[in-house]
Amino acid sequence: MKKAILLAALALVACSDASGSGDAQNDKGPGGGQNGPGPGSRAPTDSKPPSPLDPPPAGGGSVACDQETAAIQTAMDAAHPTNTDAVATIKTPACGVRFFTSGPAKVDATKLHRVASVTKTYTAGVVLKLVEEGKLSLDASASQWLPSIPGGAAVHVRHLLQHVSGLKPFDNTLGFQACLTFGCTPDRLLSLSFDQGQASQPGTTFAYANVNFVALGVIAEKVAGKPLATLLHEQVLTPIHAEKTFFAGGETVGGTLAIGRDEGGRDATNRLNMTGLYAAGNIAASPGDVLTWIEALGSGTFYGPDLQGEITKFIPFAGTTDYKYGLAMMELQPSASFGGGPGRGHNGDLIPGYHTQAFYFPERQTTVVSIIDYNPPGLAQNPQPIYAVFRAILKTLFSASP
């Protein structure tokens, strides 16, 4: 992926040495601190009702699955430094769900990880469910709820979802750096962008910016009359039985966070105040919960067909040919998937010490979530190591497939 994709992320990485009150919630909750499965093992069963997303077992535990599992583990281990941690969870029709951990900490499946911009898909889940319920329209003017938004009535909800709103990013402002240290309100985040005026005319130019999803979170709260954390559970998490996903900075995080480390190997887990990320990047979740969500999102089972058709109207992602962008959905192009076909989901690189790739591959009915819990050295100059584990997994899964 090209450097342009990480512009917002690198702004945060650059300030990662600043001290902050952070989201100090690293509490043990349900499942927190328990031993999870070992490397390459099957995910633990639980009391959740069977999901319609789960295919019937088809060869799980076979020699072929065992060989593939061993190959994935070897590829993961080789794709990052031996003193850093990474996890992955993978679901395939033949082998079911498998969890992998690599690195000295041997992070188990119960640990939570900060998934950064994957949060945008959850925020969109709330917004798009309001659309399905008829409480909101994709073509509604954002100015109905945000009267000071630059561009006024010309900025539509769909423009925010697709990063074509013309709003200027707030990520490089001194005010935003203060938000990451001391915390702030969504209105403060919006003002840091709105006060700069327009960058382009709404609907004309793709420019990935966190302000779009802060605006969407505020709109959702005003439309529904409830906090976004509450809406997230009602509209997204409860329906898919995701019990280990939390809106950090907006609710208590009920679990133990895997340690995320900066380029110097220092603990960056709670370095940022998560209210400064709000609806653009504050979700903490288990890898299994992320897999469940991304599969529902990418497979088209979460939304109705008409809305799914709107979401998957992809446009070029400025600065890279590896991705296109729909409504809060990235499409990994077949040329970058080692034979897996297109992948639908999102990545997350906002937060120092955590980098997530989460994609469903429709042609393979396969879901891959990989997370590295560290910042590669020289990240600002070369972001490519962020994706090394994800690419190693895709190559192992797909390059030898028919």
3-state secondary structure of 246: strand
Q: What is the pLDDT of residue 57?
A: 41
Q: Which residues in the chain come in under a pLDDT of 70?
A: 1-61, 400-402
> With the CA atoms of 274, 275, 279 and 280 taken in that order, what torsion angle do they form, in degrees rounded to the nearest 10?
-60
pLDDT of 381: 87
The DSSP element (H or E) to which 216 belongs, if any, is helix 211-224
pLDDT, position 52: 36
Residues with Cβ within 8 Å of residue 281, at least 6 apart in sequence: 116, 117, 119, 120, 210, 348, 350, 351
Can you tell me the distance from the alpha carbon of 66 to that of 64, in angstroms, rounded to the nearest whole number? 5
- Give the DSSP H/E element, type plus range, for residue 279: helix 278-281
Among residues 251, 308, 255, 247, which one has the least CA distance to residue 122?
247
Q: What is the DSSP letter of 313?
A: -
Percentage of the chain surpassing pLDDT 70?
84
Which residue do the tokens 């327009």 mark?
198
pTM: 0.88
**Quick one: which of 119, 178, 107 has its CA closest to 372?**
107
CATH superfamily for 3-41+52-398 is DD-peptidase/beta-lactamase superfamily (3.40.710.10)
pLDDT per residue over 130-177, tens digit each? Answer: 999 999 999 999 999 999 999 999 999 999 999 999 999 999 999 999
- Specify the pLDDT at position 400: 66
CA 85 to chain centre: 18
C-beta of residue 259 within 8 angstroms of C-beta of residue 371: no
Burial class (CB in 10 A: 0-12, 13-18, 19+), 400: exposed
Tokens of 82: 């031996």
361 bridge partner residues: 366
Domain boundaries, the chain: 3-41+52-398
Q: Both tokens of residue 128?
A: 């798009």
Residue 114's H or E segment, with its range, is strand 113-114
